[in-house]
Amino acid sequence: MSKILSIALNPAIDISSDADEVRHTHKTRTHNQRQHAGGGGINVARVIVELGGHCELLYLSGGATGELLETMLRPLGIRQHVMKIHDPVRVAYNVHELSTNLEYRFVPEGPLVSDAELAPVFDILEESDADYVVASGSLPRGVPADTYLRMAEIAARRNQRFVLDTSGEALRETLARCHVFLVKPSLGELEGLVGRKLDHESVGPAAQEVIRRGAAQYIAVTLGADGAVLVGADSITRVPAIKVAVQSAVGAGDSFVAGMTWSLAEGKDIVEAFRLGMAAGAAAVMTSGTELCRRRDILDLHAANRD
């Protein structure tokens, strides 16, 4: 089995609750509170462990919330590289309104991170023997937009497969100046990369434009309820969404990336891994709040939707 390193530069304590009704000004009484260690790279690691895989985790941690985050992660039983920072880890909050079945998500921008605090991250990457390096999530304040680019360059130099799931300037900067193994944009993020509106028929050819620029070997474009498209230089694979009862959208994209990377690390081909990623993303929306996905759900959905 190949080794995986997951990176979380902007982790979070994810809290979720239910409320009968959310109204402005009035107090919103909540119940059924749950809390998990979260943020892109941490969610990826959690799902890989849930699938029975092994994954190292590199993340930034500061303040009292950072101490809580570290405590929450210990039961995962994985090797952790904890990079200490001054500012506290952010706390994100998700409320499910029972009367409407709507979900309200409050996501802070994260701590302010200095160059000196970020520097040890690159030292760890230079020494890592991982086969897959997954960079998932937003960048915290103070971290330059070319940070994932620098990581991708290190991975390329060390013949590691770099998997990227981010957005905005960090995504554009990386793909403009480096080649990654796999990137997972949404439809809107792909539109930003090619500079025009796209429909579902034009997604594949547009992604191939990005590939021909030398930005990536594979692009997996997620389309929400319309499924996803896996694009290579000479191939376009469209898979419809797996129909499930939706409880929460939290962590679906991270679960997709985790499932796909875990499957690749297990030696599966890229299309099989893509389908496993689809099953993991669908399994994530079946659970409430920040619970993410369950192994049994992933494997059952994958088996039922192989054709």
Catalytic residue annotation: 254
Reference 108, options 2, 10, 41; nearest CA is 10
Q: Which of 183, 187, 211 is nearest to 199 (CA)?
A: 187
Q: Are 204 and 236 in contact (CB under 8 A)?
A: yes
The type of residue at 299 is: L
Tell me 243's DSSP state: P
Residue 300 corresponds to which tokens in the numbers above? 């059952």
Tokens of 215: 């930005």
List all residues 6 or more positions away from 213 whose beta carbon is below 8 Å from its beta carbon: 175
Inter-residue contact 268 to 276 (CB < 8 Å): yes
Contact 275, 306 (CB under 8 A): yes
Where do the DSSP E strands lie in 118-215? 132-136, 161-165, 180-183
3-state secondary structure of 188: helix
Say how far apart CA 106 and CA 112 lie, in whole Å: 18
Length of the chain: 307
Per-state percent for the chain, helix, strand, coil, to nearest 5: 40, 25, 35
SS (H, E, C) 55-114: CEEEEEECHHHHHHHHHHHHHHCCCEEEEECCCCCEEEEEEEECCCCEEEEECCCCCECC
